[in-house]
């Protein structure tokens, strides 16, 4: 790469284009996400201006004097070309043999000039160095490229462009570099990466939450030396896109319906320490239905099963059975929560909606123990049991004993009524609470979102033209939690 002195003399402008192929993983516990990302970086380098490119063709071009073969060029005495009469090893180097790695000279026609690839229509041209004559290239066999050893660090730790908030070092799956305009020295760098980013998730409403996965590409030199610009197409639409079905590998997340990813240019720092950056923002939402099935439904069934303890009579044996059933349910739910805690439930300094739901479920269970204790206290300690009274010697007290026995029986009857009334109130409260949970899920699932139809007609038309290019759009929106796998591309 160019050094700081070169950057000061010739400030570099890097045009960035991003294509998010897949969201491979989202970890809410570590607050990280992994993307498969295509990065295109285009810039002009003064050292490659007026660079001549040789292109070997499949057949000669009629009427083109500047399209020759190795044998024709050797007659002009050009070094490095095939010359059968020359005894010098350097003069016996054949272009076909050297560039195409053939064992013999294929005598293929080649053309030399300033190569250019049009970014709008993808056509390739070559310009004659002296006359400036342009030729649209037919299918060719081979094209030479400059030596890009100096540009290997364009993206990464030692490059001019790097990623921000990385959770781990990126994995490079594929990397290429091309000269796209030999006259001005325009270079295109392409890399397919697997990158893990660190993010901050707001999970107060988990699992009824929406997240924005943010990632950054930052320049290593201040803005007065290096500028990052998002590349735009001929319609003025930013070419950074997301592929259809980019969330197909996710189990618990999907792209938020009706919302678009944002790719914007920004800056970080102030003054002479101001750096250019490009930000990507992917809107994601939880698949709340899966969490409701695994956590809420299981707790609903377990706690609802505790309603059966009210059919156990308040005898000495029944007291122990009731307490045992309630404690067994609490320990079972605690074990389920421990199993899910390492993988599913987020660990945050604040309480999420799911934490509050779990606390309410424990409150319902503990209310059973509290109600049982109060009823037993009312019946046992405030009642007069005949077996515990001292024998009455005086017959005059027999009527008083009967009245005390009646009072004891009445207290037991009242305790049973309190127990039955609390049972129905407890059951009604538990069911109403889950009706509220279901209504919250339905409202969250069908809540309105901004849609592309609300945009100005001119902008929507430009986006439609851009989307017609292929399988890449600015966003692939999932329908909801119930979408089927085959429908995702």
Instruction: Fill in the DSSP letter of residue 412.
Output: H
Contact indicator for 76, 51 with CB cutoff of 8 Å: no
- CA dist 100 and 82 (Å) reads 14
Contact indicator for 478, 287 with CB cutoff of 8 Å: no
Alpha-helical segments (H) within 230-291: 288-291
Contact indicator for 379, 314 with CB cutoff of 8 Å: yes
Q: Which one, of 187, 172, 232, 228, lies nearest residue 48 by Cα?
A: 187
- CA dist 240 and 40 (Å) reads 9
State mean pLDDT over 160-188. Answer: 90
195 three-class SS: strand
pLDDT in tens, 283-306: 988 888 888 888 899 999 999 999
For residue 224, pLDDT over 80 is answered with yes
Considering only residues 341 and 259, tell me which one the structure prediction assigns the higher pLDDT.
259
Burial (CB count within 10 angstroms: exposed 0-12, middle 13-18, buried 19+), residue 54: middle
Contact indicator for 54, 312 with CB cutoff of 8 Å: no
Which pLDDT belongs to residue 4?
38
Which pLDDT belongs to residue 181?
92
Count Cα atoms within 13 angstroms, Cβ side, for 386: 14
Contact indicator for 171, 229 with CB cutoff of 8 Å: no
Which pLDDT belongs to residue 75?
59
- CA dist 16 and 35 (Å) reads 17
Alpha-helical segments (H) within 311-397: 316-341, 353-376
CA 374 to chain centre: 52
pLDDT in tens, 400-414: 444 545 555 677 788
Considering only residues 26 and 393, tell me which one the structure prediction assigns the higher pLDDT.
26
- CA dist 296 and 142 (Å) reads 62
Which pLDDT belongs to residue 248?
81
For residue 392, pLDDT over 60 is answered with no
pLDDT in tens, 238-258: 788 888 778 887 888 888 877
Q: Which one, of 25, 432, 367, lies nearest residue 196 by Cα?
A: 25
Which pLDDT belongs to residue 462?
43
Considering the entire predicted model, what is its pTM? 0.73
Contact indicator for 453, 464 with CB cutoff of 8 Å: no
Q: Give buried/exposed letters for 334-370 (b at 16+ CB in 10 A, else e).
A: eeebeeeeeebbbebeeebbbbebbebbeebbebbee
Instruction: Fill in the DSSP letter of residue 166.
Output: B
- CA dist 348 and 292 (Å) reads 20
For residue 436, pLDDT over 90 is answered with yes
Whose tokens are 């390739």? That residue is 124
Question: Please, which pLDDT band fits residue 434 given cuts at 50, 70 and 90?
Answer: very high
pLDDT in tens, 327-370: 999 998 888 877 665 556 667 788 889 889 999 999 999 999 99
Q: Which residue segments constitute the domains of the chain, with CATH numbers given? A: 4-48+149-285 (2.70.170.10), 53-143 (no CATH), 289-445 (1.20.58.390)
- CA dist 285 and 270 (Å) reads 34
Q: What angle do CA 133, 137, 143 make, to 5 degrees?
A: 105
pLDDT in tens, 43-54: 888 888 888 888
For residue 269, pLDDT over 50 is answered with yes
- CA dist 86 and 89 (Å) reads 8
pLDDT in tens, 102-132: 666 777 788 888 999 887 778 899 988 877 8
Considering only residues 150 and 302, tell me which one the structure prediction assigns the higher pLDDT.
302
| Beta strands at 226-230 and 12-27: parallel, antiparallel or unpaired | parallel
Which pLDDT belongs to residue 430?
95
- CA dist 482 and 442 (Å) reads 13
């Amino acid at each position: 790469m160019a050094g700081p002195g070169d950057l000061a003399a010739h400030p570099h402008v890097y045009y960035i284009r991003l294509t998010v192929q897949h969201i491979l993983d989202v970890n809410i516990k570590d607050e990280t996400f992994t993307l498969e990302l295509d990065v295109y970086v285009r810039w002009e380098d003064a050292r490659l201006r007026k660079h001549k490119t040789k292109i070997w063709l499949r057949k000669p071009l009629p009427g083109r004097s500047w399209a020759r073969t190795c044998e024709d060029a050797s007659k002009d005495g050009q070094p490095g070309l095939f010359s059968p009469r020359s005894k010098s090893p350097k003069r016996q180097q054949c272009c076909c043999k050297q560039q195409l790695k053939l064992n013999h000279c294929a005598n293929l026609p080649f053309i030399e000039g300033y190569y250019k690839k049009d970014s709008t229509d993808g056509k390739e041209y070559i310009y004659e160095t002296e006359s400036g004559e342009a030729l649209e290239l037919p299918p060719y066999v081979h094209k030479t490229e400059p030596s890009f050893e100096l540009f290997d660090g364009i993206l990464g730790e030692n490059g001019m462009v790097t990623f921000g908030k990385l959770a781990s070092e990126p994995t490079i799956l594929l990397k290429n570099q091309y000269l796209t305009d030999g006259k001005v020295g325009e270079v295109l760098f392409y890399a397919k990466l697997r990158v893990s980013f660190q993010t901050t998730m707001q999970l107060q409403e988990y699992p009824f939450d929406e997240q924005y996965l943010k990632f950054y590409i930052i320049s290593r030199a201040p803005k007065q030396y290096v500028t990052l610009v998002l590349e735009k197409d001929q319609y003025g639409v930013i070419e950074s896109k997301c592929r259809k079905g980019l969330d197909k590998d996710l189990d618990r997340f999907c792209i938020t319906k009706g919302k678009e990813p944002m790719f914007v240019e920004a800056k970080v720092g102030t003054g002479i320490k101001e750096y250019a950056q490009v930000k990507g923002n992917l809107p994601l939402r939880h698949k709340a239905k899966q969490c409701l099935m695994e956590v809420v439904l299981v707790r609903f069934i377990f706690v609802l099963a505790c309603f059966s303890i009210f059919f156990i009579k308040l005898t000495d044996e029944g007291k122990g059975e009731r307490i045992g059933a309630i404690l067994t349910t609490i320990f079972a739910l605690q074990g389920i929560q421990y199993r899910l805690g390492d993988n599913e439930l987020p660990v945050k300094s604040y309480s999420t909606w799911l934490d509050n739901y779990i606390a309410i479920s424990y409150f319902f269970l503990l209310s059973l123990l509290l109600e049982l204790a109060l009823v037993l206290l009312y019946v046992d300690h405030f009642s007069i049991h005949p077996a515990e009274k001292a024998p009455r010697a005086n017959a005059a007290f027999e009527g008083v004993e009967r009245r005390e026995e009646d009072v004891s029986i009445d207290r037991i009857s009242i305790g049973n009524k309190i127990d039955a009334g609390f049972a129905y109130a407890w059951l009604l409260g538990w069911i109403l609470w889950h009706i509220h949970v279901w209504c919250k899920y339905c409202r969250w699932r069908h809540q309105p979102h901004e849609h592309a139809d609300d945009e100005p007609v001119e902008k929507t038309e430009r986006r439609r033209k851009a989307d017609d290019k292929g399988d890449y759009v600015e966003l692939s929106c999932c329908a909801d939690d119930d979408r089927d796998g085959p429908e995702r591309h």
